Structure 1
Amino acid sequence: MSSKAERPEKQAAQAQGTLYIVATPIGNLDDLSPRATRTLASVDVVAAEDTRHSGRLLQHLGIQKRMIALHDHNEKDRAEALISYLDKGHDVALISDAGTPLISDPGYVLVRIARERGFRVSPVPGPCALVAALSAAGLPTDRFLFAGFLPAKRSGRRSALDALRRETATLVFYESPHRIMDAVSDMEAVFGEARELVLGRELTKTFETFYAGSITEVRQQLEVDPHGSRGEFVVMVRGAESAAAAGAESALDVDRLLQLLLPELPVKKVAKVVAELSGQSKNELYQRALELKDD
């Protein structure tokens, strides 16, 4: 039997607000679910990555709400203010500029604090660029690794790619239009020319486009497409061969092959040929070929 002392605690818990994590369209506004629309209409406060951008969505829906900006540069400060709304019994909706919040978007700090303090956090699922792209890519999806955005500088980007070179799961990245060509070129250098690559551009929008083939083929497709450096991209790379499947390749005497080819071909060409045969990094093979040549 419940004691009288327990009842006020239960009432207080019921009076707390809920933090809703609401997915919004990544392009096509018709992808917003009826539940998401009802949630945005019913909450007391909307926390948005960009209030001007999200304000246009709410205006389209005929919804007027108090909006608070929550982005990478202010999340720690704004999280406490939003938690105070929940503590007073107000419901809060968290949205990003597009897609599902927290997927390479702000919100982690707020959700973490809300859960630690016992507030209800409820997802309102919907569009997500990486899931939409994977569903149409034709790549294995039983295992995939989402790595967000690659570093902006070439050295950092190649280092990050090299760390994933032997990963067998399908690799998924987001990339901006002004860096997509550099990113694909670096993948070509690190993963090899033959690794399968699929790019999804402007998903769910009027000019939605998929590019697919080997990394070299996709790079060439981008170069001839006048729109190839426009719009947001989801980048999907087929994973490396598993250790079992690569067993025959691992038995290849790479040093011996390099030694045989060096007298016949330039070092750069030798590294390229052996990379295609062995699946190893062309950059690493180039350095090893230089060492062998010096010896």
Structure 2
Amino acid sequence: MRNAYRSSIAGAGFALLAALSNGTVGVFSRSAFNNGLDHTAVAFWRCGIALWLVSIAILLRSGGLARLVSAFKGSWKIAVCSALGIFTLYHFETQAFAYAPIPLVAILVFAGGLGAIALDILILRERISTRKAFAMIMVFLGGYFLIAGDGLTTGSTMGVSLALVAGLGYASFIFSWKFFKLRSSLETFWWFLAYGFVMLAVPYVWSGAPIPSANALPSLLSLGIIPSLCGFYCTILALQHIEAYKTQVIESSEPFFSALLAALFFGEWLTGPGMLAAATIVVGAFITSIPERAVSMQVRSVGERE
């Protein structure tokens, strides 16, 4: 019981760290745009920098290269997850920032992917309590009202559509990682980034493969280290401890951090109804992150009295 509780706490912690890390994507991407890069270059280089850092970490470990080669076996499953979590998310989300405000994109990314939670419940047979079901409904309603309100007034149809596609890809990645029962090792993470790097190279080369200027490097390095490396690694660590649907809902708190940074650096705010919808999503994510130890202890206490 105690080990399960600690694992649940660790999983929720990793998911929240992932949300915090991913909340920086919009600000750093917009900064890179302002320094002359398009969305294909930003997506390609942020993945490449993260891959380079993980490569160094593996090579510095004893036997790291041998374990990396061994992890290639059956890596087609990792490639599927990479197509969803790296290519689809990076390519479409980064492009969406050029058409819609940062906080709106951040919320729509998760609102668009919440439908994948049904797959977690139906296929992975993940059990949910009444409290968790209520939290999921809050997140769904928040996403719906955000799309119906701010999604149609502050952002273009193109921006909304791109963000929703990115969200569907990210949620499908979380489901697929759990479905394939992939290990959350550094070597597995390397192949995850490597496949995505190759996929992102196609649109990057197609657009002319622009070379980043010196002014764009700080933004790209920040994207590679914070959301691409820390954010994704925390996500796969969370999936090792808690259910896929719970990881998805907890990480939907990312818009709170994204909106805070967007307001601080670019002065971008949601409207009143949009902020209310965002608050609903964050509260739902918070409820989901609370372990149900107290409930379990009450049930056990009643049983002992009887």
Coarse TM-score class (shorter-chain normalised): under 0.3
- Higher relative contact order structure (alpha carbons within 8 Å, sequence separation ≥ 6): 2
Larger radius of gyration: 1
Q: Which has the higher helix share?
A: 2
TM-score, normalization: structure 1?
Answer: 0.21
Higher strand share: 1
TM-score w.r.t. structure 2 length?
A: 0.21
